[in-house]
Structure formats: structure tokens, C-alpha cells
Structure 1
């Protein structure tokens, strides 16, 4: 069975120490030859400039295809498209377009008076300006969606607006993704649906985030991580869990996996190695 293609998500550094961590992460994972990598955009656009600078530096220094994240939160249309133009000047033609989470302290998304009302409007503008646009999707129904069908109908609107593919929120049950993929196909969505995987570096944080975003956690997985933590085998269990999930997805025809690295590269590297992805010489152009 051929090894899958991969893509990787990083987040922008907020300190000098964070910059070193991001660079170490890329140095570790670049030899896996990802198809592309992305840099996230903080809640409320709080890392707008940091994301722009990180995207430019990664492309320049490592020769990787980089996608910048862009959201609708707390910015006018002109401000948002200005960021897109800055991405383009840095040689970036790929954007992950998201509505975005509300700013810290707010429960609900409220569009900027002069901003994009939702992700579909943002996607339409970006695709109309020649960007390759990727979007998010949710195998476990988004907490704000009225139903699973409404969630998929919204995804179809995003694809119809010009998105080239969708990347899922992380999930822990392969059947959850496979059922979702089938429902997308039944709804007439022909664009690739790429599974997003989270090798768990901190189970307490990961499980809280999963609960908050509605991601289903099987009971045996909760129990397994609890036992592994008591036995000081949490990393080994996380690698085994993510590798087993990834292997099942590849068996079911997934030829591309997206990894949420959290700027902690070791688990992602070990999972990819277990899947048969052989490292290549480092790509850094840094002298």
C-alpha cells in the first residue's frame, strides 16, 4: 500500500522562544516532504502580522508550499483582502479560509460592520482573486450547526463558492470520518475531503478541546489515555492511537492526511515514520 501524502499545520510564534520552537518543528518535519504546510490565524485576528511573517519566512527559508490562514473576524473586507495581498507578495497563492472563532471573551461570532459576513463571502472573494482556497469541515457536527445535514449543506456552499478541498477538524474515530465522507459524496460534494489528525501531546487539553468542539471521544480511548498517563506511557499510546487511525484511513482510500502539529513535531514525525514515510534531506535554505 503506497504511503499517503501529508500536509502540516503550524501556529505562529508569539515570542523568541516560540520562534525557535517553530523553526525546530519545521526542521524536524520538512524532511517528510509535505505537499504543503499552513500557519494558523489567532482568535480575533490576534496573530495577523505574525501569521503573515511566518508564512513568508517558511516559504523563503525552507522552500515549502505554504498556505496562510485567513478569517472574517474583527476586520473589514479591505483589511482582510490586504492581508491576502500581502500573502501574495510573499509568494503565497494558497489560503485556508475560515469564518474564525469569536474574540476572547465573546461567545458568538459577530461580523465586522464592513467585513465579510461569513466564510462563503470570504471564499468567493479569495477565489475570485485567483487564490487556491481550502476550507474546514466537521465530521462531528459543528456545535453551531442545526443538524448534520445543515453542516454538510454549508460545506457544499463553501465548495461551490470556489474552495478546492476541505480539511476536517480532528477526530478520534475512523468510522466518524468515513460516514461523513459518504454523506458529502451523497450531497454532491466532489472536492477532496482531507482527514485532519491530532497526535495527542497532552490528553487533558486535547479532550477538553474535543468536548468544546463536539468531537466524539470513544470511551475506550479516554480509558486508554488515562491508563497510559498513570503508567508514564502517554506518548507511546498517542503514537499507537494516531498510527492505527491513520492506517485505517489509508486502507479506506485516503491518500492525503493533514496533521495538526501544535508546533510539537516528535509525535507527528513518529506517526509518519510508522506509516512508511521516509525522511528526505533537510530542506532549509538557512546558511
Structure 2
């Protein structure tokens, strides 16, 4: 019987020596077609060369990318890349969840990001549990912990700097987050945000509420802005806010024409993400997690600004990565 190579635990990867000032990681989405798949593998190879700490693979609402998520994650792990697989509860019974988790375990994918997930079609719709399924992420964590074949699993969760939009208030959000950490999650990755104070206050309130479990690593989720319309849509779906000062900078760059001035908007977006990353490094963030949309360039430009990657573009010779 073939031996399954165990993955480095994400929570352990945060403690390893890194070539940069701080570990960085990236999020990928399962590709929709052949062209997108080629872009994904090119991005995976580029980030491997840049020394990425780990990569994560999203899981579509209602399990819509179930097979592709497993296939892509398994291939990424052979690069080799430490690979974190997203898992949601939407439209899955307990038996289906167990089957999927056993599939992960059978190919050595032992890093799991446990999520409740959004309703398919409309993320802001009422969340209705699947008959025979689970209601809370903490139940998913407890289920994984109870399965003998998952003894090597390292589990992460999502956290929300502005509070989850379904939580009544920040106190309730803190309670829910701690429940997941106490159930066995080793770290969290935040929803994207653009105000560092939200991240710092999340860290403060978790630590104050529980000095043991509330001090587990909180990885900030960053998305370099390349489109004003795109970031507005992303924040709307996330139930989060775009700071007025940032929106003003982006609108000034757009100068009334987002298409014509897309390069100027993108330049501001890269500047903003670089500024955020510098502050987060200074504040002791354990890792910088970039939501890449399967692209390399914007993230590499930020990393270059931080002194953590070569420059991108013609004329840089061997400094250009793919």
C-alpha cells in the first residue's frame, strides 16, 4: 500500500524559517475551464518559487466545486505545496461530509479550513441547514476530531475583523469565534478588510475574552485592489465595509472613468495593500494571506514592495518570475 506523504500543518508552517520578513500564503479558486486551469498552475509554480508558506483552495457554495477542489488540492500538494482545503456545510449531510473528509485524508490533505459557508445563489439569503447536516462550524470541527483517520488534521477557521454580518454584535461574534477555537481550531484566517484597526481590535477582544484559546494565530486576509467595481462587489458579498478614505483615493484615481483609468486605480490598490502589509508586519501578524483570484502579478508587486520578492515585468531579466 502506498504511503501518503503527510502535509506540514499550517499552524506549524507559521513557526518555520521563512526567506521573507514574515510568512505569506495565497488563496486559489478551482478553475472553471482549461484556460483558467493553465493560469492556476502557472500561478502555483510562481508562488512556489517565491517561497509561499501555504496555499488554500476554496470550496464553492453548496459543494459546487467539490470534485474540482479535491483534484486541484491534491495536485497542488504534489508541487510540493502545503495545501489548505476549504470545507463548507452547505447542502451536505453528515454522511457526505464524512465521505469528503475521508477523501481528503486518503490523499494526505490534512489541512482543513472549516467553514459554515454561504447559501448558494445569494450569500445574503437566510441560512437554512441541510436536513441530516450540521448547523455550526464548531460541529464540523468536533466531527473531524472524532474521526480516527483525521488524527493528523490541522484545522483553521474564518474570523471577521468587523464581526460576521449574521452576528448580532461584536460580543456575539467573539463568542462564536471562541467556540470554534475551543472545539479544536488552531488558527483563523480573516475575511478581507481594509482598516487595520479592525484586525487589531479583533485580536484584542479574542485575547481579552479567553487568554488561552483567544490568542491562537489570526492570519490577515488581504486582497490587492485592481478594480473599484470589483472591490465594492467583494465587500458587499462579505457584508463588510470599504473605508471612506480609501474609496476617496480610488475615486480620485478613477477620475470619472474606471475603464480608462484602470491602471491608476490598480496603482492605488497596490499602494494600499503594501501600506497595510507594512503595518501588519510591524504589529506582529503571523502571516500575510493574499486572495489572488488565481493571478500572480498584483500579489508579487506587493511582495516586491515589502522586499520579499523580485520585481515583475520586462527589463528585469532574471528578476522576473514567470
Same fold by TM (over 0.5)?
A: yes
1:103 corresponds to 2:125: no
- Higher RCO structure, 1 or 2 (CA under 8 Å, sep 6+): 1
For 1:34-49, list aligned pairs within 5 A.
Answer: 34-49=52-67
1:105 Cα offset (Å): 4.8
- 2:195 pairs with 1:173: yes
TM-score normalized by the length of structure 2 = 0.83
- 1:193 is aligned to 218
Contact 2:203 2:215 survives alignment (8 Å): no
Decide whether the 8 Å contact of 2:217 with 2:286 is kept in 1: no
Which residue is equivalent to 2:291? 260
| Aligned partner of residue 24 in structure 2, secondary structure | strand
Tell me whether 1:137 sits opposite 2:162 in the alignment: no
1:7 aligned counterpart, secondary structure: strand
Residue of structure 1 in register with 2:130 after alignment:
112
**Gaps (5+ residues) in structure 2?**
1-19, 256-260, 311-317
Give structure 1 stretches of 5+ with no counterpart: 282-287
Secondary structure class of the residue paired with 1:69: strand
Query: RMSD value over aligned CA atoms?
Result: 1.6
What is the DSSP-based 3-state SS (H/G/I as helix, E as strand, rest coil) of the residue aligned with 1:233?
A: helix
Count of aligned residue pairs for this structure pair: 278
Give the 5 Å matches for 1:15-34: 15-34=33-52
8 Å CA contact 2:165–2:240 kept in 1: the answer is no
Q: TM-score, normalised by structure 1?
A: 0.92
Instruction: Call closer, same or farther: CA 1:127–1:229 in 2, change over 3 Å.
Output: farther
Instruction: Go from structure 1 to structure 2 and tell me whether the alpha carbon gap of 1:105 and 1:245 turns closer, same or farther (over 3 Å shift).
Output: closer
Q: How far is 1:89 from its partner? A: 1.8
The 3-state SS of whatever aligns with 2:86 is strand
Question: Contact 2:27–2:56 at 8 Å: present in 1 too?
Answer: yes
1:217 aligns with 2:242: yes
After superposition, the C-alpha distances for 1:9-29 in whole angstroms (9 at most, x for unaligned) are 100011111111211221222
For the pair shown, the structure with the greater C-alpha radius of gyration is: 2
Query: Matched residues in 1 for 2:126 and 2:73: separation?
Result: 28
What is residue 68 of structure 1 aligned with on the other side?
85
